[in-house]
């Protein structure tokens, strides 16, 4: 008789598939491993950049004249990478935006800002929009407008009660 049966323990057939709980535990352990997390993080970031490419190209089309007319260009690195463009033309465009004056706006991986630059809070806010563009890709403008429309239909402010803006404002609080 086997020792496991003698002790009252059930005999385990190791040819069986492991249960779901042990698979979840193994997967979590693997994802915490720095050797695995680095390549997966890089792969997810690369996919996000490609997925948001249509929006980024629109951002580049807006940023190019801003950069060429006495503008400044820099790269911002956070959880996502973005191109920050600012200058006098950006001041004019942001001051005359159809939805009202603003300090900065993100289109894909491009942030257009006032010439003076951004505060850390506004930059954190815009980087959330960059990450949202990575998740939603070309559907981000549609989802953003739908969230504003839903808020307006509920009698709320279309900007302040927009789901995407609420998430971006939460990120500002952590700065």
Q: Are residues 45 and 58 in the same domain?
A: no
Per-residue pLDDT reduced to its tens digit, 157-174 = 999 999 999 999 998 887
- Residue by residue, pLDDT tens for the chain (175 residues) are 445 445 555 555 544 544 555 545 555 554 555 555 565 566 777 788 889 999 999 999 999 999 999 999 999 987 788 999 999 999 999 998 877 888 999 999 999 999 887 888 999 999 999 999 999 999 999 999 999 999 999 999 999 999 999 999 998 887 7
Q: What is the tens place of the pLDDT at every residue in 68-99?
A: 999 999 999 877 889 999 999 999 999 988 77
59 and 35 inside one domain? no
Alpha-carbon distance values, 102 to 80, 99, 111, 154 (Å) = 22, 9, 12, 24
* 147 located within any domain: yes
d(CA 160, CA 166): 7
* Residue 80 lies inside a defined structural domain of this protein: yes
Asked if residue 88 belongs to a domain, the reply is yes
The verdict on 63 and 143 lying in the same domain is: yes
62 and 46, same structural domain?
A: no
pTM of this structure: 0.74
Domain with 141, as residue range(s), is 52-172
Q: Are residues 102 and 112 in the same domain?
A: yes
Q: Are residues 47 and 133 in the same domain?
A: no
């Amino acid at each position: 008789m086997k020792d496991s049966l003698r002790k009252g323990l059930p005999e385990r057939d190791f040819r069986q598939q492991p249960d779901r709980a042990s698979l979840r535990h193994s997967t979590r352990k693997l994802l915490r491993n720095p050797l695995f997390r680095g390549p997966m993080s890089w792969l997810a970031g690369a996919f996000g950049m490609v997925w948001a490419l249509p929006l980024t190209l629109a951002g580049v089309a807006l940023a190019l004249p801003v950069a060429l007319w006495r503008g400044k260009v820099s790269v911002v690195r956070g959880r996502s990478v973005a191109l920050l463009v600012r200058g006098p033309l950006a001041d004019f465009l942001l001051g005359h935006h159809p939805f009202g004056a603003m300090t900065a706006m993100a289109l894909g991986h491009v942030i257009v800002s006032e010439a003076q630059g951004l505060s850390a809070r506004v930059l954190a806010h815009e980087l959330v929009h960059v990450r949202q563009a990575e998740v939603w890709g070309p559907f981000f403008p549609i989802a953003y407008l739908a969230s504003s429309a839903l808020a307006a239909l509920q009698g709320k402010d279309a900007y302040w009660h927009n789901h995407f803006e609420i998430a971006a404002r939460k990120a500002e609080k952590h700065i």
